[in-house]
Amino acid sequence: MRAFVLLLVLTFVLLGVEIWLSNFWHSDRSIARAQSDFKLGEKIYRENCAACHGEKGDGKGPEAQRLKTKPRDFTSGLYKFRSTPSGSLPLDDDIMKTISTGVRGTSMLAQLHLSLQERRAVIQYVKTFSPRFKMQKAANPIAFSPKPHESKELITLGETLYKDAGCVSCHGADGTGDGPSAEGFKDSWGFPIQPADLTLKPFKSGPEAEDLYRTLSTGLDGTPMPSYANVLAPRERWALVSYILSIATHERRRVMMGFVGEEVDGMHIDMRAAMAGMMDGGGRMMKDRMGK
Ligand code: HEC
Ligand code: HEC
């Protein structure tokens, strides 16, 4: 009997030691994985983002000076393009959308030369620039009510709301962005900003009706563009979307190979960065070969 109890105790002790050891082993491995993701994110960021967004993520990269639409200062933790309510942090998926599709008309181009794994790693790295991501919990995305059927009435409702909800004061009666209070706006980072010309495609935040609905619902944090989630009912927001799409009849002038606005500058900067990366890689290959 005593031997049996002793065996039982011994088994439990050994089991405990085993669990403890395996925990140790696993947490060790996940720390190692997190470290290698961080290293990858840092490398991708230095090679593909820092020229504009700055080594420190403060938006002051060497190319930022000559760009009209300034690269985001990631240390502020303020994000324009989100699926979450006004004032909330973006989801990883929101940042993924921005870097996978770009911001049309600006130098922020789609970064599709990066693999999914590289994009995921650089998203985590970008988040380390702002303490908000450690302090605040992620918010839930806004609710998407289904889009009502397209109709003349819906567009007319949108047109009425466009005047009544105050869009005119910034975007102007004809939607070209020259409303009575459009002058002298600055964004949260201190740079001049104009209300969007809603008659011109492509839009910054995406081509789909859903993209416009999201913008109206979340607002563009850091800019004067407010959120209408608590002001307008879902049907009213959809009506505005239909109205905007009905007046967005002009295309931005293509500067080169389908690039519009500052996208051309983005292409030049991205190409220079890619060349520098190749030279750097080549240099390293040479050194390796020469055993240095
Ligand atoms: C050629 C310059 C340039 C490069 C290179 C560049 N960006 Fe940008 N980025 C911009 C500009 C300009 C904006 C601001 C667009 C706006 O405010 O309308 C921006 C905006 C963003 C945003 C949107 C933030 C928000 O407010 O929602 C994210 C995220 C972002 N960049 C991530 C990256 C990442 C990650 C890389 C590298 C893989 C990168 N960018 C490379 C110029 C650049
Ligand atoms: C106080 C001024 C102000 C008011 C009021 C305002 N906006 Fe804006 N809106 C802006 C600014 C500024 C921008 C540009 C932000 C940027 O470029 O980053 C903008 C951007 C937008 C965009 C994004 C376009 C794109 O390229 O993706 C849409 C859509 C829009 N506004 C629609 C509306 C509608 C509809 C209303 C009324 C319900 C409205 N806005 C009210 C200032 C305003």
Mean pLDDT by 10 residues, the chain (292 residues): 70 67 71 88 97 98 97 98 98 98 98 97 98 94 95 98 98 97 96 98 95 98 98 98 97 92 96 87 50 40
Do residues 131 and 77 lie in contact, with contact meaning Cβ atoms separated by under 8 Å? yes
What CATH number matches the domain at 152-255, 3.30.420.40, 1.10.760.10, 3.30.70.1140, 2.102.10.10?
A: 1.10.760.10
Centre of ligand 1 from the C-alpha of residue 238, in Å:
28
Instruction: Give the per-residue pLDDT at 47.
Output: 96
Give residue limits of the domains in the chain: 49-141, 152-255
- Residue 260, beta-bridge partner list: 254
Q: Which atom of ligand 2 is nearest to the CA of 161?
A: 38
Centre of ligand 2 from the C-alpha of residue 180, in Å:
14
Pocket test for ligand 2, best of 82, 225, 247 (most atoms within 8 A of CB): 225
**Is 54 close to ligand 1, i.e. is its CB under 6 Å away?**
no
Instruction: Give the per-residue pLDDT at 17.
Output: 64
- Give Cβ neighbours of residue 264 (< 8 Å, ≥ 6 apart): 255, 256
Q: How far apart are CA 26 and CA 19, in angstroms?
A: 10
Instruction: Tell me the helix, strand and coil percentages in the chain, rounded to 5.
Output: 50, 5, 45
Instruction: Give the per-residue pLDDT at 285.
Output: 47
Do residues 224 and 188 lie in contact, with contact meaning Cβ atoms separated by under 8 Å? no
**Is 193 close to ligand 1, i.e. is its CB under 6 Å away?**
no
| Residue matched to tokens 């303490």 | 131
Instruction: Give the per-residue pLDDT at 290.
Output: 47
**Is 122 close to ligand 2, i.e. is its CB under 6 Å away?**
no
Written as one letter, the residue type at 33 is R
Strand pairing class (200-201; 250-251): parallel
DSSP tag of 184 = T
